[in-house]
């Protein structure tokens, strides 16, 4: 079985972002991953599919600010 499992650090390097960005995306459910024993893990094949998905929409700063103003 050739399944590549990525850590936060691995995924941050792959996507060329800071690890804190991956923590935020994962915690908000914006990137597919699972938490195992308190640590996030990501399946590379699923991340590849997610990157190509037309449903994946970027979050602009304006969207983020508007969401913060709306009470949950």
What are the structural domain ranges in the chain?
5-69
pLDDT digit of tens for each residue in the chain (72 aa)? Answer: 567 999 999 999 999 999 999 999 999 999 999 999 999 999 999 999 999 887 765 555 554 554 555 554
CA distances from 24 to 2, 13, 34, 49 (A): 28, 15, 13, 20
Single out the residue of 33, 36, 4 nearest to residue 19, CA to CA. 33
Tell me if the pTM is above 0.75.
Answer: no
Single out the residue of 62, 65, 25, 69 nearest to residue 47, CA to CA. 25
């Amino acid at each position: 079985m050739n399944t590549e499992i990525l850590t936060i650090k691995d995924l941050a390097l792959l996507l060329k972002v800071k690890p804190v960005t991956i923590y935020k995306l994962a915690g908000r459910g914006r990137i597919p991953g699972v938490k195992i024993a308190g640590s996030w893990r990501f399946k590379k094949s699923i991340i590849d599919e997610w990157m190509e998905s037309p449903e994946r929409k970027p979050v602009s700063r304006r969207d983020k600010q508007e969401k913060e103003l709306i009470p949950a």
